[in-house]
Amino acid sequence: MIYYAMALYPEAQPFIWQMNLKKRAEETHLQIFENEETCLVITGVGEVQAAAAVAYLLARRPPKAQDLLVNVGVCGSERQPLGTCYLCNKIVEQTTGRTFYPDILLRHPFEEAATMTCPVVAGDGANETALLDMEAAGIYQAGQMFLQPHQMAFLKIVSDAADGRRLSKQQVEQLVQRHAETIIAWSKQAQACLARQQAELFSPEEEKAIEAAAAEHGLTLTQRRQMQQLLRYDKLEQGDIGALLKELPERMESGKQEGKQYLEQLRQHIL
Amino acid sequence: MNNFDNISFKPAFSHIYIEEKALYHPVTEQILQKFPQAKQIRIAHYKDVFCRSRQQFGLQKQSPKLILAKRENTCIYEGAKPCQSFGHTHFYYASGVMNCFYDCEYCYLQGMYPSANLVVFVNLEETFRQVEELLQKFPLYLCISYDTDLLALESMLGYVRRWIAFAKKWENLTIEIRTKSANYAKIADLTPSNNVILAWTLSPQETMARYEHGTATTAARLKNAGAAAADGWNVRLCFDPVLWQKHWQESYKQLITETFETVSPGEILDCSIGQFRAAKDALKRMRKNRPDSALLHYPYQLQDGVYQYDRERAAELMGQIKRWVENYLPPEKIFLWQGEE
């Protein structure tokens, strides 16, 4: 699953349209759009609203190790060219001075910069970071309760010179539209790359077989963990545990075996 | 760039985090010159990056970042129980770099640190000052390449040369520099010192290929050890960790034969043999960080708070390897780690 978080509807609209996301009518507190592999939330403007919305989304739809949270939004910058999309390698929370560092492990097509999350449109301290935004620090802090630092990406598109000038909804939408296709394509591949790295060791069939064997031999919770450990080693070493799970009971003495005996036989067989 | 079909990990040190205090240190400048393409990110303290919660060590290892910092507290620590003291009373180790460039599956660092990123403390002079303080009290045996592989990083840091120069000034200091690299050439021009030990960790080639990712081949390490011994350095050979695996007899017998064909036994200072061992909590973290490692998921037995092979298997493994090594070295030159020292 890829989770997108945008403050405003015009920032989200190009993504909703391109991925054909459907609005969840039953969600009355927030606007949430989704399809099978994507979930997008419109958070509202500012750190607190953004953090609350992301926490709500991730608590309702708990992420897995291969999932990704992508925050996309416009930002201000005195120095960086208008329209450029930046991946943030550092997030400074202006109100507290705290800093956050998303892990950037994968190759990407974006420029990189630091952003400062400010409570108002143009904040002081603009010289400390290249970009100024209003949500990133809140989203990071909410996200880190559910995700690891490499599972969060913050993409900011420069829309103004941090001088308080307001853009029309249409202007924001056009700015985001220019980068939406690239962001979507990169996010999908980044998530696929993480999924390849985090593949489950046991197939669903193997999980069932392990569970059945544990139940058959009356293993306690601790013994089940020990069994999982032995089988994990065997699968990693041999590549397959199917035959082992099938043949082992036949080799055991007839009659109901105590869990301890079963584990010992399994251990001897594997080692 | 809309085609990301072959998206991959960024190269090592694509990002360099620099503590504000370390910004203008000469070592910082020297390192930054080596990585002109790296993104430089200023940080207040190295722990802001290194100690973040919920980092994924295994994934970070595929794209490790560099953190440059200034050490302001203790740099010298007493040697831990699972480490060999080689009979020295005052056994300490220095932690000038945290984490290793290599990626060995059995490495205890992945159970010790919250991050796979490398921290380089640029103010080595502070470590020297603390060592001098200890040397005023007692002679010191100091391992300087335990939590890292300093010789592997020599092109970038030049710390091994500086340590050797420092050791020359202190007769009551003995330093051990342990490595899995083949970087002896980086220091081969130096005059050997009596109180410097160059130690190579050795594993059978198939073990190296399977578990010691990124390290020099066994043949290359042996060639380096042989050259260093021939030049007059104190050379230590470390068969550590010894790993039980199928056909271990053939693998280790061949390794030991090759070792003493390449490195003259008469030129060896000593040799250590140690079985795989990991502290209880460390192995738990190591397994979590490496769910795909058969080596770490082997059902080790817990003895005295340390996971290791069961006594029977350990005795067979260690006893046999010791006997083979004894064909070349006298018993007083062989140090074993087999449970309690």
A225 and A183 part of one domain: no
Residue B208: in which H helix or E strand, if any? helix B205-211
A53 and A89 part of one domain: yes
What's the rounded mean pLDDT across residues B298-306? 92
Contact B83/B146 with Cβ under 8 angstroms?
Answer: yes
Number of domain units in chain A:
2
Cβ-defined contact of A189 to B54 (cutoff 8 Å): no
Cβ-defined contact of A99 to B5 (cutoff 8 Å): no
A161 and A246 part of one domain: no
**Minimal Cα distance from A143: which residue of B?**
B54
- pLDDT tens figures, B39-96: 999 999 999 999 999 999 999 999 999 999 999 888 898 887 666 667 778 899 998 9
A243 and A110 part of one domain: no
Cβ-defined contact of A193 to B299 (cutoff 8 Å): no
What's the rounded mean pLDDT across residues B279-305? 93
A107 has pLDDT over 60: yes
CA distance readout (Å), A256 to A66, A259, A260: 41, 9, 12
Across chain B, what does the average pLDDT equal?
Answer: 94
A228 and A192 part of one domain: no
Contact B52/B115 with Cβ under 8 angstroms?
Answer: yes
Give the model's pLDDT for residue B82: 61
Give the model's pLDDT for residue A214: 87
Which one has a higher pLDDT value, A126 or A152?
A: A152
Give the model's pLDDT for residue B341: 42
Given A164, A197, A230, which residue is the final one in a domain? A197
Q: Which residues contact B323 (CB under 8 A, 6 or more apart)?
A: none
Long-range interactions of B134-138: CB distance < 8 A, separation 24+: B134/B76, B134/B90, B134/B92, B135/B170, B135/B172, B135/B173, B138/B89, B138/B90, B138/B172
Given A197, A218, A251, which residue is the final one in a domain? A197
Chain B: closest CA distance from residue A28 (Å): 32
B125 has pLDDT over 90: yes
A235 and A174 part of one domain: no
A33 and A151 part of one domain: yes
- Domain extent, residue A251, equals 204-270
Is B8 part of the contact surface with chain A (CB cutoff 8 Å)? Answer: yes
- pLDDT tens figures, B256-277: 999 999 999 999 999 999 999 9
What's the rounded mean pLDDT across residues B288-294? 92
- Whole-model pTM above 0.95? no
Mutation site, B7, B37, B50, B105, interface A, largest A CB count within 10 A: B7
- Encoded tokens for B154: 């020599």
A140 has pLDDT over 50: yes
Give the model's pLDDT for residue B1: 47
Give the model's pLDDT for residue B145: 94
Give the model's pLDDT for residue A184: 97
Percent of chain A with pLDDT over 90: 66
A173 and A262 part of one domain: no
Backbone torsions φ then ψ of B245, nearest 5 degrees:
-160, 170
What's the rounded mean pLDDT across residues A47-75? 97
Question: What is the CB neighbour count within 10 angstroms for residue A30?
Answer: 16
Give the model's pLDDT for residue A13: 97
A139 and A160 part of one domain: yes
Q: What pLDDT band is residue B339 in, cutting at 50, 70 and 90? A: low
Closest CB to A148: pick one of B2, B56, B297: B56
Closest CB to B294: pick one of A109, A188, A237: A237
DSSP-assigned letters across all residues of B34-92:
H-TTSEEEEES-THHHHT-TT--HHHHTTS--EEEE---S--EEEPPTTS--TT-SSEE
Cβ-defined contact of B4 to A189 (cutoff 8 Å): yes
Q: Hey, which CATH number is domain B70-337, 3.40.50.80, 3.80.30.30, 3.40.1280.10, 3.80.30.20?
A: 3.80.30.30
A24 and A143 part of one domain: yes
Q: What pLDDT band is residue A179 in, cutting at 50, 70 and 90? A: very high
Please give the single-letter amino acid code of residue A187.
S
A30 has pLDDT over 60: yes
Question: What is the CB neighbour count within 10 angstroms for residue B40?
Answer: 15
What's the rounded mean pLDDT across residues A101-114? 97
A175 has pLDDT over 90: yes
Is A164 part of the contact surface with chain B (CB cutoff 8 Å)? Answer: no
Chain A: closest CA distance from residue B5 (Å): 7
Chain B: closest CA distance from residue A237 (Å): 6
Which one has a higher pLDDT value, B204 or A162?
A: B204
Which range has highest mean pLDDT (A261-265, B119-123, B299-303, B334-338)?
B119-123
Give the model's pLDDT for residue A162: 74
Sequence ranges of the domains in chain B: 70-337
B162 has pLDDT over 50: yes
Q: What pLDDT band is residue B3 in, cutting at 50, 70 and 90? A: low
Closest CB to B48: pick one of A99, A104, A232: A99
> What interface predicted TM-score (ipTM) does this complex get?
0.89
